[in-house]
Structure 1
Amino acid sequence: MTPDASPLLGTLLHTIGAASAALCYSPQKFLHKWSWQTYWLAQASVCWLLLPWLFAYLFVPEYGMVLAESPSDSMWLAFGYGVLYGVGGIAFGVAIRYIGFSLTYAIAIGFSCLIGTLFMPLINGVLGEKLQQEGGMIVVGGVALGFFAMIVSGMAGFRKEHELAEAGKREGSGFNVKLGLPICVVAGVLSAVFNFSLEAGAPIAEVAALHGAGNFQELAKYPFTMNGAFLTTLVYVIYLAGRSKSWGEFSATTDRKGLGRNYVLAFATGIMWYMQFFFYGLGHIRMGDFKFSSWAIHMIILILLSSGFGVLIGEWRGARSKTFGFMLLALALLVAAVGLITYGNFLGAESAAAGH
């Protein structure tokens, strides 16, 4: 067990990051006369362009030397995966408009959790080895339970939206499950690619560790992943803004009000989105031999907290008691999944410590 291995602390740090992620898109509801593409480029400029480089230079010693010594193929691969993730990020933001916070998070993150966690260990041929280690089966069992819990959460969210539509409480809200659901699936699959990008950038973090980055070594690889996502966003926004002629929104709203507030809200979104991975990195290096489970534990906690956030902002007001009971069941299963993954990581860390 490395000196930094502490699964319980790692889970706590993942929880802080997931809380930031669960709240990051909420400022979008308070924008004033900004089109979606204007807001999306403004917040992406913060979280995917500015902050990754700023935090890397602030927290990674000799970052210029780290870049010079890191393998270029890792940089390009991480960037390429980031480009694909950018498509998922766009789809995620669009899906929220059509099917709400609860349903979007449940479906998209469910796919992201399962694919992002197990695909890379599977194709790298190490999943079987991990299952044979102490606590390995418990960790993977927790991932499976988390995926099932997300399905239950998604079912509850779908029932809730259907009930609210029947009651006329969704009139004019833009709810459209036929359009939103496939967008959600695309968002989930491509969101999993973010974890592939982080895995591709692992050699960069290793070089940063040699330069004394310590607990902040993961920050060294973020600029490549996130800049890739920004490139996708920039291209898409250029297309949308050109088609809708909305470039002027960056300098003035149609009624000349609220521009400064819009930028503050976009900045809030960007910094909350980035901070999820600031804490993700701090949690990831503390998960011992089962670091691959970091993605699952982050995603599961994200669903847990975002579902609660949906309740707080009134998305479940008017839903039937049976439907709300489904959500309570999902929340209980999500808590159990987090507990299993954390416990499996703890057993693995204890076993590794005993072996040393």
Structure 2
Amino acid sequence: MEAMFLPFLLIVFASIFQGSFGLGMKYMAPLKWESWWLVHVLIAMIILPLGWGYVAVPDLLGVLGASFSNPEMQSVVFIAMLFGFLWGIGGILFGVSVPYIGLSLTMGIVMGLAGSVGALIPLLRMDNSTSLPQFPYVIAGLVITLVGVAITAKAGIDKDKLTSEASGDKSNILKGILIAVSCGVLSALLNVGFVEAAPIAKLAESMGAIDRNASLAAWVVVLMGAFIMNAGYAIFLLVKNKSWSSFKVEGSGKAYRWAILASVFWFGALGVYGQGAALIGPIGGVIGWPMLLGLSLIVSNFWAYRAGEWNGAAKPFRLLLMGLAVLIIASIILGYANMV
């Protein structure tokens, strides 16, 4: 029991980071989206993973060199980067969805779907997964997670109707939800890539890294693929919109600070989650991932509430709280699954 306290504490801590990083997206101005995003992904997906990994993983560069040069490991590297690349598409869609439906609803849909799909795929790929004693509890936890997401989404829809009626603006709720659903499915692939990159973490362990820090080597590879997609799209927009000069726009210091802070929160969540999942064991990526994203909804909605997103929407807000309570129950069931 005590041995499981630390990994779950790490996941709870990671959820605070995960639920907070989206705040930075509210403070992009006066930078263009593509300028802010390029700075964010460079720090979050390259500088921080390499920096933390270099400090915590003995001979990180040797691990990466062996992974990329060993023919037996190259397929692992390719798959891990591919899933990271596909997740990158989802990451871009996240940024597109927030202006349409707000941070709270976007986080609800994306985190719920990403948590469920991102846990289910690795679970079904495990040998004799349906025979595992944890299987029924994991499935129950994932189903309850989806119920919580549905309630959360309904609360966001009701809130949007009130806002639209009050302002007379045309609602983009359907468009925003479709984008968020696509983002949620693609975002699940980040955890799939992390699980598929397990041989890289094992290689790091064999070269002297402790188990929980070895996961950082896996993240470095997965996020290389994610960076290629995100940076490529940002650069495409910079060229298309001829907005390179926006990096020097007056009064952008606050936006840069938020870009850095959002990056620290974002990769801080993944790095700490990876350590917690490694300590849980082989099924850590199945149990820990939906817990991380489900609990992060509590944090993100706290910030959304503070930002006034739910002002004048008391009834939808009560429905939102109900959805969040369901997600907490799902997290408890998933936590219990590892004790079976």
Please say which of residues 288-297 and 91-100 is displaced more in the overlay.
288-297
Aligned partner of 1:210: which letter? S
Name 1:300's counterpart in structure 2. Answer: 294
Name 1:118's counterpart in structure 2. Answer: 120
Deviations 1:155-182 (A, max 9, x none): 11111121122122x85xx962132122
Runs of at least 5 residues in structure 1 that lack an aligned partner in the other structure: 348-356
Aligned partner of 2:291: which letter? I
Contact 1:8 1:342 in 2 (8 A): no
The match for 2:50 among 33, 50, 53 is: 53
1:313 maps to 2:307? yes
C-alpha distance in 2 between matches for 1:289 and 1:83? 24
Number of paired residues? 333
Name 1:220's counterpart in structure 2. Answer: 217
Runs of at least 5 residues in structure 2 that lack an aligned partner in the other structure: 68-72
Name 1:91's counterpart in structure 2. Answer: 93
Please say which of residues 289-298 and 336-345 is displaced more in the overlay.
289-298
Name 1:353's counterpart in structure 2. Answer: none
Name 1:156's counterpart in structure 2. Answer: 155
Contact 2:19 2:299 in 1 (8 A): yes
1:267 maps to 2:244? no
Q: RMSD between aligned alpha carbons?
A: 1.9
The match for 1:44 among 6, 20, 41 is: 41
Aligned partner of 1:8: which letter? F
C-alpha distance in 1 between matches for 2:236 and 2:281? 44
- State the shift of 1:208 in Å: 1.2
Deviations 1:124-163 (A, max 9, x none): 4542122xx2x44223312221121111111111111211
C-alpha distance in 2 between matches for 1:314 and 1:106? 17
Q: Secondary structure at the residue paired with 1:6?
A: helix
- State the shift of 1:318 in Å: 0.5
Aligned partner of 2:113: which letter? F
Deviations 1:219-268 (A, max 9, x none): 01111111111111122112211221111111x21xxx223322222111
1:143 maps to 2:142? yes
* Inter-CA distance 6–148: structure 2 relative to 1 (3 Å threshold): farther
Deviations 1:167-218 (A, max 9, x none): 22x85xx962132122111111110110111012100101111223212110
Q: Secondary structure at the residue paired with 2:204?
A: helix
Contact 1:113 1:300 in 2 (8 A): yes
- State the shift of 1:79 in Å: 0.9
Equivalent residue runs for 1:24-43 within 5 Å: 24-43=21-40
C-alpha distance in 2 between matches for 1:79 and 1:276? 19
Name 1:204's counterpart in structure 2. Answer: 200
Name 2:240's counterpart in structure 1. Answer: 243
Name 1:354's counterpart in structure 2. Answer: none
Name 2:335's counterpart in structure 1. Answer: 342
C-alpha distance in 2 between matches for 1:44 and 1:178? 28
Q: TM-score, normalised by structure 1?
A: 0.88
Q: Secondary structure at the residue paired with 1:293?
A: helix
C-alpha distance in 2 between matches for 1:114 and 1:30? 30
Contact 1:100 1:175 in 2 (8 A): no
C-alpha distance in 2 between matches for 1:175 and 1:267? 32
- State the shift of 1:88 in Å: 0.6
The match for 1:192 among 188, 191, 195 is: 188
Q: TM-score, normalised by structure 2?
A: 0.92
Equivalent residue runs for 1:52-91 within 5 Å: 52-70=49-67, 71-91=73-93
- State the shift of 1:118 in Å: 0.7
Q: Secondary structure at the residue paired with 2:338?
A: helix
* Inter-CA distance 208–261: structure 2 relative to 1 (3 Å threshold): same
C-alpha distance in 2 between matches for 1:146 and 1:181? 18
Instruction: State, as a whole percentage, how many aligned pairs show the same letter.
Output: 29
C-alpha distance in 2 between matches for 1:175 and 1:268? 31
Deviations 1:61-100 (A, max 9, x none): 1223322443222112111111111101000111111110
Contact 2:145 2:326 in 1 (8 A): yes
Name 1:352's counterpart in structure 2. Answer: none
1:283 maps to 2:282? no
Contact 2:38 2:235 in 1 (8 A): no
Aligned partner of 1:107: which letter? I
Contact 1:118 1:127 in 2 (8 A): no
C-alpha distance in 2 between matches for 1:140 and 1:212? 36
* Inter-CA distance 147–11: structure 2 relative to 1 (3 Å threshold): farther
C-alpha distance in 2 between matches for 1:205 and 1:9? 20
Please say which of residues 100-109 and 138-147 is displaced more in the overlay.
138-147
